[in-house]
Amino acid sequence: MSEQGFRIFEVEKDLIKANEELAKKIQKIFHEKNIKTFDVVGAIGAGKTAILETLVERLKQKYRLGLVTADVTTQIDADRIRRHGVKCTQINTGRECALTASLLQDVLNQIPLDEIDVLFVENVGNLICPADFIVGSDKRIVVVSITEGEHVVIKHPMLFKMSDIAVINKIDLQNVMDVYPQKMVKDALEINPSLKVVLTSAKTGEGIDELIKTLEL
C-alpha cells in the first residue's frame, strides 16, 4: 500500500472506531429507556420502507413504536410511515451514503424516548457503506429482494456478516423474475451461519408473521 493509501486506511479505521464507541453510548441510552431497537439496511428499492409499513400496521396496537428513516435528501419514507399514524423522524444524510451513530445522536432529542417501546431505524438505501457503521441498535436487519438477482447476497458479504436477520423480500415476483430465493438463503447462511433468514412479500403480507416472530415482538 502507498503511503497515502495507508493514511486514508488509518483515517477510515479511526472513523469506524469512533462511530462504534458512540453507537455503544447510544445503545446504552436505549437500554436505560427499555427500548428494543432494530436497524434496517439494504439497497434502494429492496422494500425496507414497505417492510416497515407492514410491521407498523401489525405492531402499532401492541407496542408504542418509534421510527427513524434516513435518506440522502428526501422525506418520502417518513411520509409513508406517518400515514400509518406513527411518529417518524427523518434524517437527511447529505453526502453520506450511510447513517452514522453521530447522525442518529443529532436527532435523539426529536425521538420521544420515554414514550416508545420499540424503535426501528431505516438506514440509507445502500448495500455497501452501512456495513462499516453500526448505529447502536440491538439487532440489524438486512433486506434484499428477488428483483436484485440471485447473486445479491454473495456480492455483499459484509452486510450479511454484520446482520442478525436477513429478509428476502418480493418473493411474490419469483416466477415473473425467474429468480428463486434458495440460492440467496444458502449464500446468506454460508456467510453467517447464525443469521435468521425470512422470506417475505411486503405486498401480499406473506412471511410478515414469521418476521415478527423472528424479531421476538
Tell me which residues touch Mg ion (CB under 5 A).
48-49, 77
> What residues have CB less than 8 Å from 70, skipping those under 6 apart?
90, 91, 92, 93, 99, 103, 121, 122, 123, 124
- State how far the alpha carbon of 119 is from the alpha carbons of 9, 16, 112, 142, in Å: 33, 23, 10, 16
CB of 34 to Mg ion, least distance (A): 27
Closest CA relative to residue 101, chosen from 34, 18, 158? 18
Residue 33 or 82 with smaller CB distance to Mg ion: 82
In angstroms, what is the minimal distance from the CB of 33 to Mg ion?
A: 25
CB 47 to Mg ion: min, Å? 8
CB of 211 to Mg ion, least distance (A): 16
Q: Which is nearer to Mg ion, 38 or 192 (CB)?
A: 38
Do 78 and 89 contact (CB within 8 A), yes or no? yes
Q: Which residue is nearest to Mg ion (CB)?
A: 49
Of 122 and 187, CB closest to Mg ion: 122
Nearest distance in Å: CB 108, Mg ion? 21
Q: Which is nearer to Mg ion, 22 or 55 (CB)?
A: 55
Cell numbers describing residue 138: 440491538
Q: Residue 127 or 191: which CB sits closer to Mg ion?
A: 127
